[in-house]
């Protein structure tokens, strides 16, 4: 039944993608007389990245490069409401607009208000740094003189990872850019800037952890768990939005026990409020403590900044830990680490080879116990952790 629902969802997405492409072509025919924009006239730039906050993190180097190229331009970001906390104090973005349709994250009234606000402004340049149907939908609604990026989700009619062209609308350029399937999502986003004459594959995050978040986290750890400043702890991040990326509670519990037997570290479990009860099974209140749902993203960044090491599945917190240059052990299943793994030198990826990898993650036909995440053992993760400690 779950497989049928997944197939139905994918068929619906394919239909929507075709409709968006047809609508986009009609708009282009109507606006075919528009003059190409002069890069010197770019004063308003809009970046649309409404997927997970890990994907938004991957856009930061692109945003930084844009800000350097167009220092006088106002740079606006459309992202999920949950990600706004993390980037609201960033010096890169002049404005951050949360946009979504999930009632738990952003109400329908807020969604309509945000769309109305966006329609009131004509942007000089709209940038889509990753492909998604929601990105295409927003790009068709927003008024902009020029567009740049992955304007359509062609992955729905091709295989999961392909070579995707960067489309440039109303921009005069001699450079044609393309994202290649083996390139990291950060490089994929940076590729969108090549038609603007920006060729920079240097990964430069700008995540600022502010003193008030540091103070809040320090007091929280001391007050509730007796953790003093400077006491080492490991962050465990077991949760994932995509269930096919999850690792079993039994394995997590065994891993914590194995690590506890070898050192005097403490463990902090992070996750959403909905996961708090589930992951309480990993906590004993002494060595392992539960902070699921207790922190916003800015506070989570302050917590990760203090940790000794980070162990987690393929998720936004994993990318945040890598962006903060912390040692990361990442458990990967359906995705390709070379494409969406933690970026940096202080990381180690644990993954088992399977012929069906990568997959679309809508459903898994492989029997339980033989799936990609099931094949990873606590001993595999412990070896990866030891290898990373040796490297450090």
Is residue 43 scored above 90 in pLDDT?
yes
Residue % of the chain over a pLDDT of 90: 30
Q: Which two tokens stand for residue 249?
A: 């509670």
| CATH topology match: 2-196 vs 211-391 | yes
Phi and psi (nearest 5°) for 46?
Answer: -120, 125
**Mean pLDDT score, 12-29:** 65
User: Of 75, 129, 384, 117, which is closest to residue 234 (Cα–Cα)?
Assistant: 384
Cα dihedral 302→304→307→308 (10° resolution): -140
Q: Which two tokens stand for residue 11?
A: 């068929």
Alpha-carbon distance 69 to 67, whole Å? Answer: 5
pLDDT-wise least confident of 42-56, 130-144, 243-257:
130-144
3-state secondary structure of 347: strand
Confidence of residue 265 (pLDDT cuts 50, 70, 90): confident
Residue 228 has a CB neighbour count (10 Å cut-off) of 9
Total length of the chain: 392
Is residue 218 scored above 90 in pLDDT?
yes
Q: What is the DSSP pairing of strand 164-165 with strand 178-179?
A: antiparallel
Alpha-carbon distance 378 to 7, whole Å? Answer: 33
Question: Hey, which of 114-118, 151-155, 158-162, 214-218 has the most confident mean pLDDT?
Answer: 214-218
3-state secondary structure of 153: coil
Confidence of residue 21 (pLDDT cuts 50, 70, 90): low
pTM score: 0.85
Instruction: Tell me the pLDDT tens digit for each residue of 280-323.
Output: 888 876 688 899 999 988 899 999 999 999 999 999 999 999 99
User: What are the DSSP calls for 223-253, one per residue?
Assistant: HHH-PPTT--EEEEE---SSGGG---HHHHH
Mean pLDDT, rounded, of the chain? 82
Confidence of residue 11 (pLDDT cuts 50, 70, 90): low
| Contact (CB, 8 A) for 291 and 275 | no
| Contact (CB, 8 A) for 267 and 236 | yes
pLDDT-wise least confident of 232-241, 299-308, 348-357, 358-367:
358-367
Q: In the chain, where are the structural domains located?
A: 2-196, 211-391
User: Of 359, 384, 385, 383, which is closest to residue 371 (Cα–Cα)?
Assistant: 359
| Contact (CB, 8 A) for 216 and 336 | no
The pLDDT value given to residue 158: 46
* Bridge partners of residue 288, in order along the sequence: 267
The pLDDT value given to residue 105: 52
The pLDDT value given to residue 249: 92
Instruction: Tell me the pLDDT tens digit for each residue of 113-151.
Output: 777 777 788 899 999 988 777 777 777 788 888 889 887
Confidence of residue 160 (pLDDT cuts 50, 70, 90): very low
3-state secondary structure of 167: strand
Is residue 193 scored above 60 in pLDDT?
yes
Q: Which CATH architecture has domain 211-391?
A: 3-Layer(aba) Sandwich (3.40)
Confidence of residue 79 (pLDDT cuts 50, 70, 90): confident
Alpha-carbon distance 289 to 231, whole Å? Answer: 14
**Domain 2-196: what homologous superfamily?**
Glycogen Phosphorylase B; (3.40.50.2000)
Phi and psi (nearest 5°) for 353?
Answer: -75, 135
Instruction: Tell me the pLDDT tens digit for each residue of 370-380.
Output: 888 999 999 99
CB proximity list for 13: less than 8 A, separation 6 or greater: 133, 153, 156
| Contact (CB, 8 A) for 301 and 209 | yes
316 or 3: which carries more pLDDT confidence? 316
Is residue 338 scored above 50 in pLDDT?
yes
Q: What is the DSSP pairing of strand 266-269 with strand 164-165?
A: unpaired
**Mean pLDDT score, 327-333:** 95
End-to-end CA gap in the chain = 47
């Amino acid at each position: 039944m779950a497989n049928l629902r997944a197939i139905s969802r994918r068929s619906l997405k394919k239909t929507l993608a075709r409709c968006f492409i047809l609508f986009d072509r009609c708009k282009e025919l109507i606006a075919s007389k528009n003059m190409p924009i002069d890069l010197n006239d770019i004063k308003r730039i809009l970046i649309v990245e409404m997927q997970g906050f890990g994907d938004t993190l991957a856009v930061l180097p692109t945003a930084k490069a844009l800000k350097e190229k167009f220092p006088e331009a106002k740079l606006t970001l459309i992202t999920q409401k949950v990600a706004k906390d993390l980037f609201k104090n960033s010096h890169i973005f002049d404005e951050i607009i949360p946009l979504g349709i999930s009632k738990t994250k952003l109400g329908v009234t807020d969604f309509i208000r945000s769309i109305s606000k966006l329609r009131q402004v004509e942007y000089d340049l709209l940038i889509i740094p990753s492909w998604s149907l929601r990105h295409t939908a927003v790009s068709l609604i927003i008024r902009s003189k020029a567009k740049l990026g992955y304007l359509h989700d062609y992955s729905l009619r091709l295989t999961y990872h392909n070579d995707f062209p960067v489309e440039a609308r109303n921009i005069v350029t001699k450079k044609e850019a393309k994202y290649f399937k083996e390139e990291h999502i950060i490089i994929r986003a940076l590729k969108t800037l090549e038609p603007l004459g920006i060729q920079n594959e240097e990964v430069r995050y700008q995540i600022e952890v502010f003193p008030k978040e540091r103070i809040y986290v320090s007091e929280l750890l001391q007050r509730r768990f007796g953790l003093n400043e400077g006491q080492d702890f490991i962050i465990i991040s077991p949760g994932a939005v995509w269930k096919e990326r999850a690792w079993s509670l039994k394995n997590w519990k065994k891993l914590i026990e194995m690590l506890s037997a070898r050192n005097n570290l403490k463990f902090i479990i992070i996750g959403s409020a909905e996961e708090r009860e589930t992951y309480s099974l990993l906590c004993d209140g002494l060595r392992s403590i539960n902070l699921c749902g207790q922190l916003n993203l800015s506070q989570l960044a302050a917590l990760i900044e203090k940790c000794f090491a980070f162990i987690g599945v393929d998720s936004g917190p994993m990318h945040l830990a890598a962006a903060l240059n912390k040692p990361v052990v990442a458990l990967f299943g359906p995705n390709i680490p070379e494409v969406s793994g933690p970026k940096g030198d202080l990381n180690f990826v644990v993954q088992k080879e399977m012929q069906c990898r990568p997959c679309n993650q809508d459903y898994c036909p492989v029997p339980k116990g033989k799936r990609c995440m099931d094949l990873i053992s606590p001993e595999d993760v412990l070896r990866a952790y030891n290898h990373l400690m040796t490297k450090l």
